[in-house]
Amino acid sequence: MQRAGSGVAAVPPYRRTAVPPYRRGYYIPLMIHIENHSGTAVVRLDHGKAHALDLELATALRDAIAEVEKDTDVHSAVLTGTGSIFCAGVDIVRLLNEGPGYVDQYVPIMVDMILTQFRLPIPLVAAVNGHAIAGGCVLAAGCDYRMMVEGKGTIGVPELTVGLPFPLVALEVLRFATSEAHLQELVYRGKTYAVAEAYERGLVDEIVEPDLLLSRAIEVASQLGSEPSARFRITKKQLRQPTIDRMERYAKETQDDVIAAWKDPESLESIRRYLAGVREERERRE
């Protein structure tokens, strides 16, 4: 093992707000911090306790990644979370509360966010500081190198257990990042893995002590970014282009089916059962 130390209110149309060019220490309120560490941009999710991917966070992350790509002073990047959670995935409580109109807006934004991250030409390292569930796991999988903090954090994609099929782009990211031997187990069984199990299955490349996570992530990102820019970008594009081609070819064909499934009453009831089970488990532990 490698180590380094149900009443639904109408949802108004979402208005995209431009993310201004960031400076060292720039802060997008309540959502994302971005800092430039000698050419490595650290993008840190900071949206509630679990950094759940709601409409606003998905939009802000997409735009922040696009800004990082434009910055000629940045040669690599790190994606991490705040506190003890990397990202808890889709905000399913909000999905239930705000209903079909929200789903219609949310799914295309989430797809665009995943594509924007996956296409990023510079090196991107995931510093997984805790639980990376569902969409959080996809965010980690979309990075070029994944390190996860040693401890109680788990990673996985329980979407089918929850009752929601993934958009095609998310499955393609997992297909790219995970061996065929483990892909179906990961997706069909909906398990979340402890750190050592994730390492064994290739979801994690390196396990790091908590105090060293960010510095180690910056170190690796900087090393990758020190390669001649054109060389790395060409190589990354060659590795990822077949996956991107499949995403672009089939995503729109399947997106309507995903949106319909997310609005289906049976799916919504499955989410309610899942949330009830989570509450019961929490109460049992307390």
CATH number, domain of 239, equals: 3.90.226.10
pLDDT, average across residues 245-263: 90
Query: Is 68 among the domain residues?
Result: yes
pTM of this structure: 0.87
CB 75 within 8 A of CB 40: yes
Which structural domain range is residue 105 located in?
A: 19-212+226-285
Alpha helices in 71-167 (DSSP H): 92-119, 135-141, 159-162
Counting every residue written for the chain, the total comes to: 286
When divided into structural domains, the chain yields a total of 1
Asked if residue 75 is part of any domain, the answer here is yes
- Tell me, yes or no, whether 9 lies in a domain: no
142 part of a folded domain: yes
Residue 23 confidence class, pLDDT cut points 50, 70, 90: very low
- pLDDT band at 30; cut points 50, 70, 90: low
Asked whether the predicted pLDDT for residue 129 surpasses 90, the reply is: yes
Q: What percent of the chain has pLDDT over 70?
A: 89
Stretch 174-203: mean pLDDT, rounded? 92
Residue 2: the pLDDT is: 53
pLDDT band of residue 22 (cuts 50, 70, 90) is very low
- Nearest residue to 58 via CA among 112, 100, 125: 112
Question: Is 4 contained in some domain?
Answer: no
Contact 141, 174 (CB under 8 A): yes
In a domain, 58, yes or no: yes
Average pLDDT over the chain, rounded to an integer = 88
Q: What mean pLDDT do residues 148-165 have? A: 91
CA atoms of 286 and 280, how far apart (whole Å): 10
d(CA 105, CA 14): 7
pLDDT above 60 for 26: no
Q: Does residue 5 belong to any structural domain of this protein?
A: no
Position 74 pLDDT exceeds 60: yes
Q: Is residue 34 part of a domain?
A: yes
| SS3 at position 65 | helix
Average pLDDT on 2-31 reads: 42
Q: Does pLDDT of 13 surpass 70?
A: no
